[in-house]
Amino acid sequence: MDIKTLKIAVIGVGNLGNALVSGLIESGVPATNIYATRRNGDKLEEIKKLRVHAGTDNRFAVKQADVILLCVKPFNYQVVLDEIYDDIDPLRQLVVSVITGVSIETLAAKMPSGMAIIRAMPNTAADVKESLTCICHNGVEDYQVELTLKIFDALGTTIIIKEELMNSATVLGACGIAYVMRFIRAMVQGGIEIGFDAETAGNIVQHTVKGAATLLLERKTHPESEIDKVTTPKGCTIAGLNEMEHNGFSSALIKGLKASMTQIDH
Ligand SMILES: NC(=O)c1ccc[n+]([C@@H]2O[C@H](COP(=O)([O-])OP(=O)(O)OC[C@H]3O[C@@H](n4cnc5c(N)ncnc54)[C@H](OP(=O)(O)O)[C@@H]3O)[C@@H](O)[C@H]2O)c1
């Protein structure tokens, strides 16, 4: 099935829902095939400019859809699922949940029996079609997996993982955007101290980060072998790197990831 003919309900167009809608439209899904909802109708003005169907009526959106994307916060999903229970049709629809920390089993218990459910963990780079999305399922039809892969491949890169790793995927891939942003900000602040204006420093850092990631993606090398290429004995790069490590650079990152994980798990 071509995703350009799919009708997609996006329930909860906040930060991530908005990014998914923008990415889908950029990928060629007609705006008129998208039904976006949130509770606060006053905040729908921006998304209405994209010409999607936007409103506060979840039941209407769900009735139109082939695929229902659940994009609400974990503390809001129960209300939504109670509301749309009678409108979900297990025979013709697929539910894809991006809700953090809510298992397929928990979601299934709130939906009509036999509902096909897939969990996805994208990140906000979906907005620019560069999301890394992890998806998992427990025995839906192959064509439903294919369909979900098509949706998220249109928004970047997709990999299939076991459900038990979904929380880890949240930390590494979704929270990861924030960690990298903070890294970039720190690099820019350092760049200003050594002489650049903020805009130039930002430009240099953003392209350097993109270049480093592209090197690894395309060459399939290990980060340390790329580091070896730029560290001259007694040179400035190794001096800077080691100073960062003495101050806990890698350790701070690993501890941060584990702290995020604790918050999801508790
Ligand atoms: N942000 C990320 O990078 C990211 C990445 C991966 C997964 N996630 C997961 O994706 C979900 C959404 O995250 P987010 O950052 O986009 O949160 P968000 O910005 O708070 O968006 C949640 C949206 O849900 C809407 N909503 C709440 N109750 C609703 C209801 N009963 N009916 C319709 N809409 C309702 C809210 O609308 P109102 O504000 O109008 O009430 C809001 O627009 C969360 O479960 C999060 O864990 C997020």
Task: Provide DSSP, 225-237.
Answer: HHHHHH--TT-HH
Q: Is the CB of 39 under 6 A from ligand 1?
A: yes
pLDDT at 266: 67
Domains recognised in the chain with CATH numbers: 3-161 (3.40.50.720), 169-265 (1.10.3730.10)
Q: Is the CB of 59 under 6 A from ligand 1?
A: no
Q: Is the CB of 94 under 6 A from ligand 1?
A: no
Atom of ligand 1 nearest to the CA of 19: 16
Interhelix angle 223-230/198-219, nearest 10 degrees: 120
pLDDT at 234: 97
pLDDT at 184: 98
CA 169/CA 152 separation, integer angstroms: 15
CA 117/CA 138 separation, integer angstroms: 8
Given a contact cutoff of 8 angstroms between Cβ atoms, the answer to whether 192 and 166 are in contact is no
Q: Tens place of pLDDT for every residue, the chain, 266 residues?
A: 788 899 999 999 999 999 899 989 988 899 999 999 999 999 999 999 999 999 999 999 999 999 999 999 999 999 999 999 999 999 999 999 999 999 999 999 999 999 999 999 999 999 899 999 999 998 899 999 998 998 999 899 999 999 999 999 999 999 999 999 999 999 999 999 999 999 999 999 999 999 999 999 999 999 999 999 999 999 999 999 999 999 999 999 999 999 999 998 66
β-bridge partners, 133: 158
Q: Looking at ligand 1, which residue's alpha carbon is closest to its atom 48?
A: 16
Q: Which mutation among 39, 136, 152 tests ligand 1's pocket best, with the greatest number of atoms within 8 A of CB?
A: 39
pLDDT at 28: 87
pLDDT at 187: 98
Q: What's phi and psi for 171, nearest 5 deg?
A: -70, -50
pLDDT at 26: 85
